Amino acid sequence: MVDTKKKLPIAIEDIYEAKNVIKPYARVTPLIQSMFLTAKTQGQVFLKLENMQLAGSFKFRGAFNKIAHLTQAEKDKGVIAASAGNHAQGVALTAKLLGIKSTIIMPETAPEAKVKATEGYGSKVILHGTVFEEAKAYCEKIVEETGVTYIHPYDDEFIIAGQGTIGLEILDAIWDVDTVIVPVGGGGMIAGIAVAMKTFNPNIAIIGVQAENIHGMTSSFYEGKKVGYNKAPTIADGCAIEFPGDLTYQVAEQLVDGMVTVSEEEIELAMKDLIQRTKIVVEGSGALPTAAILSGKVDQYVNKKKVVTVVSGGNVDLKRITDVIGHFSVANELH
């Protein structure tokens, strides 16, 4: 069992309950071995393809679990969320499936594909601010003024438990996994997965990856207290969170074994290689674990280990994919 210094926000029972709640709708996503990444390392590397989840990312799990647990009065008020894109789509699709009105506040810099997809699920989209924190503040203002039900993107027990179902699926497929490498923004996914994996086997290493440009959880993890870090925009826009959540940080400081950051070029290279070598369309956030592996920054957790990396989402603009591929095509021509 998990040995903690203080009580965690969720327990394994919450994750099992979430599994039953989302089961009628959510997909059990594929888990495949990447022969490319396995050949590149001294370990066996597998990909958990959350880019093939409903709405194109893992966020559907947490959003559905949270909204399904609302009271009827809360559902009647409608739901609202702030998101750079994936949480938006998870909330929007869930609301549509359950017949609930939804509004999403997105930063003006959100990828067009994510905005269009969110609107396509029937949500009202309001663009506000240039970064997630500004969109979130505006969302909270609307909640205060109208009483609409707020669905937090990561710092919520039901959200964390929903994301933790990924961990259960990993264990169902590879019970003897040594390392799980997870993209991190606010920390909902790594917190849920960490509780699931560490409850089963405390020796499983849980490693988080963020962009060098924005990495609040990484800074907090190594500072030993919640701090923010936001230097510049990142192609991993789904993980562009300056400060981690209170609940998610509480789990991370106890159960996560390490955090690393990767550069924008390393993320782009990982996106390109995942498309070219594994035929997987992935957004910047979903490429973070692959970037960490290719850069050699997690070798101690990969070499001679059985490793699962979470491909968190595939909601990426075609223009961005074209730019990434074009960037490396030009580089190759120059050489």
Catalytic residues: 59, 312
CA distance 101 to 89: 13
User: Distance between CA atoms of 192 and 14, rounded to whole angstroms?
Assistant: 10
The sign of the CA dihedral 180, 185, 212, 237 is positive
Alpha-carbon distance values, 175 to 53, 106, 160, 169, 294 (Å): 21, 38, 21, 10, 25
Burial of 13 (0-12, 13-18, 19+ CB in 10 A): exposed
**How many angstroms separate the CA atoms of 228 and 68, rounded?**
32
Q: Are 239 and 214 in contact (CB under 8 A)?
A: yes
CA 114, 132, 159, 100 dihedral sign is negative
Closest by alpha carbon to 237, among 165, 151, 312?
312
What distances in angstroms separate CA 8 from CA 86, 225, 253, one per listed residue? Answer: 26, 16, 11
